[in-house]
Every structure is written in structure tokens, then in C-alpha cells.
Structure 1
Amino acid sequence: MGSHAAPHHLRPPFLLVSVTVVLVAAFLWLPRADGAPARTDACGSTAVRLPRGDCGPFWQVLAEDFNGDLVPLGSFSDCDHHADTSGAYFGGLRGTFRDNWWAYPTGWPDTARSRGREVVGVYHPEDTVSVGPAPDGDGRMFIRMWRPADGGPVHSAAVVPRAVMDMTYGKYSARIKVTKAAPGYKSAWLHYGGGCEMDHPEGEWTGPLSSFHHPCGGGEQGYFPGSDDWTDWHTVSTEWTPGHVRFFVDGRETGHDTRGVPDGPLSWVMQNESALEGPGAAPGSSAQIDITWVAAYAYGWK
């Protein structure tokens, strides 16, 4: 089941130069254990480390590994400036993080409210999102969602890489792990708008990691299971090209759809929120996802 923060639509225009590209050479084929061919992503690897450089028809516009960075809680604040446009920014951030990141502003409701869930969430990037070293020294973005002990709404977080806001087509990749799981928390990283929606990865953090495609103009959603466990490290990628959307987990294609694929500008929303299925988050509970790198690409020639 796909999800999005229904009241907010990402629609400003974006001009992207497109050319005819021969895609056959852009994708490598690797044998599966059963001997059948399996399509890998355009970078041709599982990309455990941050990939740098262009891949097939995609040229890299963002490469962030968070190493050496320290952005404490409270910094992702004052973000309701030019909201939902490529000019959006955080008043509380400085330097490259102000240039590269935005988030849904404090007070916007998450998807659970529009679905009538008993436990709902409200976006609070200022007290859920930070950047710093893990115990092993690896630089990460930490997204720790939590529900107050008094039983109030879940504090959710939806972060948005500014380099690929309002962009048509592209490749979107990250390496992620839920380092603390609890019932009632989920992710739905998505592109949506104008009746179109592509969700990858999506799922409650205590369940399977999956993908969904909701064709533009309606029709049966595409559902693609990808991994059984959010609490392992996974490299997730979405490749969106004219007439095609492909989903990858650890370099392996887990889904492909050609029905009603968007052909206009959308933004990549790394949305994390209260659950839409199963039990709601318990009062006083918390859960966390770590992101060790993010890479994003435009489609076509430079």
C-alpha cells in the first residue's frame, strides 16, 4: 500500500534536457543462483560504499556519505520557507546541508491522520533528524521517530534532497538500516503527484521491505516484495526513465512496471512516519533508521 502526506503536492515546473539514449548498454545482466538472468542496477554493483560518478544514462547530482559532518538535533528547524518548491530551505541549517536538504515542516500531519488511524503522527524534523558519527565512526543521518509518554502524536520525519526536487526521471539510491525497530513505525520513500506514485522502499519497520507503483490515472497497483528485514543493511534504488520504473534492493531488480509511469516533475521524499497497518506506536516508544549514504542522479546527457 503506497502512502503520502496527502495535503502536500510537489508541482512546480522543472526543465530537464532529455535525449534519446540507448538503454540496452546501461544495464548489466548477472546470473541468478537458478541460472536465470537477473537485472542489476545501472551502476552494476550492490554499491555497499557510496558510488561516485555517472552510471549509464544517469549523471550524478548528489553524493553524500555524511562522513566528518556533525549536525545536532535542533538544526533541522525553521524549514517552512518556500515549502514544496525547489527553493525550500531550513533556517536552522548552514553550509552544504542547507544547500542539499529540506524536510516537511514542523506541524504538517503524516499520512496516518488522513487514513483515520487511532495513532497518528506530526512531522518534527527538529527533534527527529541529526547527522554524526556512529559508534564505529561511520558518518550517518539518524532519523529517530518517537511517541511522547503522554500518548500524543508520533514525531515523524520526511527529508527531501533538494538537488532532485521537481525533477523528471532519474536514479535515487541510499544505503539504510533500521537500527531500532518497534511496532507502529514505517517508511514510504516516494515520488508522487498528479495521480501518480512510486514508493520504494515502503513498509512497517517490523515487517517486510517492499515497493509499490500506483499508475498515473489509476489502475491496479504494482506490489513488489524486496527483503524480509529492515534491520539489515540494504542498498535501495529507484530508476525512473521514460515509460519505466524499476526498483532494486542490494543491486537486484525486485520490481519493474511500465503502466502509467509519470512523465512530469516530481520530488524524492524520504518519508518516515507512523504506521498505516498493525498496532500503533506505544506511548514512550521510539524507533530509528540510519542512512549511511545517499546518491541521486539526473537522466540524460550533461
Structure 2
Amino acid sequence: MGSHAAPNRRPRILFVSFGLLLLAALLVVPRADGAPRPADACRATGTELPRGDCGPFWQVLAEDFNGDDVPLGGFSDCDHRVDTSAAYCGGLSGTYRDNWWAYPTGWRDTANERGRDVVGVYHPEDTVSVGRAENGDGRMRIRMWRPEDGGPVHAAAVVPRAVMQMAYGKYSARIKVTRLAPGYKSAWLHYGGGCEMDHPEGEWTGTITAFHHPCGGGEQGYYPSGDDWTEWHTVSTEWTPGHVRFFVDGRQTGHDTRNVPDRPLSWVLQNESALEGPGAAPGSSAELDVTWVAAYAYGWK
């Protein structure tokens, strides 16, 4: 658990041909071996929230967190119609209540199943908030922490309601770990029915990686990007029939066709205690900031 009079005709033809070549160049980026590598369908690489449809994807969520603030405590009372598209957090209001849900307080994170010395428990009420950075940028802040007494890590998993229980689509966000400490990780994922796609995943002290666990079993697909969590990156997953592709800053880092899910799954922005390396120290904390989230349905053409 854990994304194109006759003497005047010749120049016009040359111009169109050049335009097509330029478009082709924009749609691919070179691999190290010189072969072209597919680019993110929306070319979502910059700091600004992408808006509008692109390729075979139509946008169903565009969130830049520049609206109302949500202080700590807002993501509370989330135990309503859980794991369905009707799930909600009673502590939220307005568009945030309409658009977001979180794993309820008390649910246990993945480390509990792995026999780790340090495990986590989901506490959205004291880990998730929305507000402005010093530069005025709206952000969702996910600050996980471990109590001074050495209890479980307070973890957080938030879920965009617009794409709960949806088959296929494109899922993008711009993220950065702004406070680093050992013992904390992310595994943003789609999973269910023996299928799992994870991106971005990894301990925050390492680098961003993607994984694909084919439906029904088989060797996992492992796609390291080499990109550091502590820098701003745009991460995207494009899930279409028979294909899953992973991107960092518009660069394809992985592609798999083996038993790709064909059933509706939810996108879970899961953040939890580490599964590798040292556990979080008592009294420590770490933070992931999300400056925008965009999600798209597939197959409108």
C-alpha cells in the first residue's frame, strides 16, 4: 500500500514541415542511449498548476491551495463512508470538504505489517494543514512527527475525492520535502485486487522512485529516478489501458505493460513511517509540501 498562386506553396510546405518537426521534438526527450523517450502528456514540468485537458486526458481536479487556509485540526472526523467516493472529513468545510478526504485517526500504517521497531498511526488532524508559504504560495503541508515519549509516528494519507474509484487517468503534483529527518517516507499509490502502482515512493532521505506490482503477482517493476526529495519536483503517473508510465519533471522514469490494472482504484497520497533504514527518533519531525495537485480522467476522445 505500502499522463501532435503556386509559387507560394513551396515555402508554406517547408514551414509546416518545420513546425511538425518542432512539435515532434517537444513531445519526446532523448534518452542516454540516444533513442527518444516519451514526454509527460501535459508537459507538466513547471511551477505553475497546469489547467485544461491534454492528449487523451481531461482534467477533473486542479488544486493550487491558494484558497482558504485549513489549520491543524481541520482534517479531523474523517471516519465517514471510508474508502468510497462519498468519504469525507467532518472537520473540513467548503471546497476542501468536497475535494479531500484523509485516512481516519487510528488507522495503522504499513510499518505495522513489517515488524518495524518504529511504526506509525494515521493522525490527519495534527499532521495536515493548508496555508501560505513566506513567498505567498499556497501549500498543503504534511508534517509527520514522533512524540517525545517514543510512541508511534503520526502519519498522514490524504485522498483527492474526484479520482476515488476511477479506472485510468493522469495524476500529477509538485512536491518538496522542506524539513528532513530519518525515518519518514512517502508511497503515493493506487492499489487493490492484487494490483499496485506506487509513485513517488521512497524514504525522504533517499531519492524518488516508482514501483509497479503487476496484478496477480510477478516481479515488481522498479524505476529509480535519482531525484532528491528535498528539491522541487513535478511527479506524474499516466495510467492507460495496458500501460503505466511514471514521470519526474516531464522525464519518463519508468514504463510497464505487465498486468496493468483495469479496475477502478483510488489515488492515495500516503505518507508514513520508514520501511527501510533507521526509524524516526523520538521528538523528530519531517515535512512534505505540496504546491499543486492536478488529476485527469482518461478516454474522452
Shifted more, 154-163 versus 27-36: the winner is 27-36
Partner of 1:136: 135
Percent identity, please.
82
Matched, 1:190 2:186: no
Q: Is the Cα–Cα contact under 8 Å of residues 68 and 133 in structure 1 kept in the other structure?
A: no
Partner of 2:6: none
Q: Is the Cα–Cα contact under 8 Å of residues 197 and 214 in structure 1 kept in the other structure?
A: yes
CA apart distance, 1:282: 0.1
- After superposition, where does 1:66-105 map in structure 2 within 5 Å? 66-105=65-104
Q: Is the Cα–Cα contact under 8 Å of residues 44 and 234 in structure 2 kept in the other structure?
A: no
Q: Is the Cα–Cα contact under 8 Å of residues 69 and 139 in structure 1 kept in the other structure?
A: no
- Given residue 139 of structure 2, which amino acid in structure 1 is its aligned partner? R
Partner of 1:261: 260
Q: Is the Cα–Cα contact under 8 Å of residues 85 and 165 in structure 1 kept in the other structure?
A: yes
- After superposition, where does 1:160-175 map in structure 2 within 5 Å? 160-175=159-174
Partner of 1:58: 57
* DSSP-derived class of the 2:98 partner: helix
Shifted more, 66-75 versus 169-178: the winner is 66-75
Q: Is the Cα–Cα contact under 8 Å of residues 227 and 249 in structure 1 kept in the other structure?
A: no
TM-score, normalised by the number of residues in structure 1: 0.90
Output one character per residue of 1:58-84: Cα deviation in whole Å (capped at 9) or x when no partner. Answer: 000000000142110000000000001
CA apart distance, 1:38: 2.2
* DSSP-derived class of the 2:276 partner: coil
* DSSP-derived class of the 2:104 partner: coil
Partner of 1:158: 157
Calculate the aligned-residue CA RMSD, in Å. Answer: 1.4
* DSSP-derived class of the 1:228 partner: strand
- Given residue 282 of structure 1, which amino acid in structure 2 is its aligned partner? A
- Given residue 64 of structure 1, which amino acid in structure 2 is its aligned partner? E
- Given residue 156 of structure 1, which amino acid in structure 2 is its aligned partner? A
In structure 2, C-alpha distance between the alignment counterparts of 1:33 and 1:198, rounded to whole Å? 25
- Given residue 266 of structure 2, which amino acid in structure 1 is its aligned partner? S
- After superposition, where does 1:188-227 map in structure 2 within 5 Å? 188-227=187-226
Higher share of residues assigned helix: 2
Partner of 1:250: 249
Q: Is the Cα–Cα contact under 8 Å of residues 131 and 141 in structure 1 kept in the other structure?
A: yes
Partner of 1:48: 47
- Given residue 277 of structure 2, which amino acid in structure 1 is its aligned partner? G
CA apart distance, 1:48: 2.5
In structure 2, C-alpha distance between the alignment counterparts of 1:80 and 1:233, rounded to whole Å? 32
In structure 2, C-alpha distance between the alignment counterparts of 1:251 and 1:62, rounded to whole Å? 19
In structure 1, C-alpha distance between the alignment counterparts of 2:100 and 2:131, rounded to whole Å? 15
* DSSP-derived class of the 1:301 partner: coil
CA apart distance, 1:226: 1.2
In structure 2, C-alpha distance between the alignment counterparts of 1:144 and 1:156, rounded to whole Å? 8
In structure 2, C-alpha distance between the alignment counterparts of 1:260 and 1:298, rounded to whole Å? 20
Partner of 2:271: 272
* DSSP-derived class of the 2:228 partner: coil
TM-score, normalised by the number of residues in structure 2: 0.90
In structure 2, C-alpha distance between the alignment counterparts of 1:220 and 1:243, rounded to whole Å? 17
Alignment gaps of 5+ in structure 2: 3-23
* DSSP-derived class of the 1:267 partner: coil
CA apart distance, 1:37: 1.5
Matched, 1:115 2:135: no
Matched, 1:36 2:3: no
- Given residue 114 of structure 1, which amino acid in structure 2 is its aligned partner? E
Output one character per residue of 1:70-114: Cα deviation in whole Å (capped at 9) or x when no partner. Answer: 110000000000001110001000000000000100000000001
CA apart distance, 1:47: 3.5
Q: Which structure has the larger Rg?
A: 2
In structure 2, C-alpha distance between the alignment counterparts of 1:265 and 1:47, rounded to whole Å? 29
Partner of 2:146: 147
CA apart distance, 1:34: 6.2
Q: Is the Cα–Cα contact under 8 Å of residues 63 and 293 in structure 1 kept in the other structure?
A: yes
Q: Is the Cα–Cα contact under 8 Å of residues 102 and 159 in structure 1 kept in the other structure?
A: yes
Number of aligned positions between the proteins: 279
Partner of 1:14: none
In structure 2, C-alpha distance between the alignment counterparts of 1:85 and 1:115, rounded to whole Å? 26
Q: Is the Cα–Cα contact under 8 Å of residues 169 and 298 in structure 2 kept in the other structure?
A: yes
Q: Is the Cα–Cα contact under 8 Å of residues 65 and 140 in structure 2 kept in the other structure?
A: yes
In structure 2, C-alpha distance between the alignment counterparts of 1:227 and 1:87, rounded to whole Å? 37
Output one character per residue of 1:177-232: Cα deviation in whole Å (capped at 9) or x when no partner. Answer: 00011000000000000000000000000011100000001000000011331000
Partner of 1:177: 176
